[in-house]
Amino acid sequence: MAGALEGMFVLALEQAVAAPYCTSRLADAGARVVKIERPEGDFARGYDAAVKGQASYFVWLNRGKESLVADIKNVDDAALLHRMLAKADVFVQNLMPGAAARAGFGSAELRKLYPKLICVDISGYGADGPYAQRKSYDMLVQAETGLASITGSADAPARVGVSVCDIAAGMYAHQAVLEALIRRGRTGEGATIEVSLFDGMADWMAVPLLHFDYAGKAPTRVGLKHPSVAPYSAFASADGAAILISIQNDREWRDFCAGVLGETSLPQFATNILRVTNRTALDAHIAAFFAKHTRADLVSLLDSAKIAFGEVNDVARFSAHPQLRRVAVETPAGPVALPAPPPIVDGVRDRPLRPVPALGQHNAALRAEFG
């Protein structure tokens, strides 16, 4: 399948996770993405050595790109980047606050020089406000936005186990670039896009924030339970499996009672509000039933009653999950299997991914092309 963005040229002055997430998705869609790296490389190359001696985040987020080592403070390298920008459609950067502008690559200046260019600035807190100049990383923003305060058990706040603030910002940037490309197709004008980790997670935190602002109380940490829906939590089977069930409405509750528990709905649990209010008794009632039945029996009962449920897997079981789709990508250390990226378009389930570059792999070719 031909990529929808074939022919588009993206220059990425990027590091870590948020911007590379955005540009990796542009590359997946066929765009040519040139990644500018310091002589020591994107510091994400050194996060770990889990994937055949390579960093897991870097392998995941940098497939399909060309790597150019350049120093934006060097006059000759800066001139090279400007020659590239003159032909680029999109410029993405997530350097520390103010660094790109100080080096002559601020969006305001670039838009004057290249009016059709779509400039994307990804930062921790945005271009203005009291936190604008703060350095920031994913877990810091998880803490600042209150996400950590509603994550974890009742005992202590916790980090969400993946870099959700970075990923959310990358998704919003990708979405905004696609919108800007559509608009440019109509008007011929470029765009200046600002995305911050804080704003992205603030949007994701809308429901807890609305609870606090309008009901006077934010959801509390309840571990592997839903704060406002019950039963929506995990229960142990007789043979030690943890099965998470989700009852979204009163009709499903009645179906669960009849088809799984084999009883009529008890009055004190008849509505979701009552079930949440009486959650302790409700959970004890369900836990007692689950503890008498094996995983296989419970799965059969839940399937037959058309109740939504999931098993609480570890990563080892996820790795062997029958629903997991993988696609191979070449790396400097050999092929690696990645999760096949969504979405599925026109039935194409496993879109081929282009290779992950070695540091500076394309130096000679790019310097010759744009010299």
Q: Coil, strand or helix: which one is 25?
A: helix
- pLDDT value at residue 1: 47
Q: Is 123 helix (H, G, I), strand (E, B) or coil?
A: strand
Specify the DSSP element, H or E, that contains 311. Answer: strand 308-311
Q: What is the pLDDT of residue 2?
A: 59
Dump the DSSP string for 213-255. Answer: HHHS-PPPP-SSB-SSSSSEEEEE-TTS-EEEEE--SHHHHHH
pLDDT above 80 for 31:
yes
Mention every residue, 6+ apart, whose C-beta is less than 8 A from residue 290.
Answer: 235, 236, 237, 238, 243, 298
Confirm if 8 and 32 have CB atoms less than 8 A apart.
yes
226, 285, 293, 362: which one is catalytic? 226
pLDDT band per the 50, 70, 90 thresholds, residue 41? very high
Q: Give pLDDT tens digits for 241-258.
A: 999 999 999 999 999 999
Q: Is the pTM value of this prediction over 0.85?
A: yes
Q: Is 226 a catalytic residue?
A: yes
258-288 residue pLDDT tens:
999 999 878 899 999 999 999 999 999 999 9
| Nearby residues of 3 by Cβ (< 8 Å), 6 or more positions away | 28, 29, 30, 31
pLDDT at 153 over 50: yes
CB of 357 within 8 A of CB of 368?
no
Q: Please give the residue that has the higher pLDDT: either 181 or 97.
A: 181
Q: Per residue in 89-138, pLDDT tens? A: 999 999 999 999 999 999 999 999 999 999 999 999 999 999 999 999 99
For 283-317, write each residue's pLDDT tens digit.
999 999 999 999 999 999 999 999 999 999 999 99
Tell me the two tokens of residue 182: 């559509």
Mean pLDDT of 25-35: 97
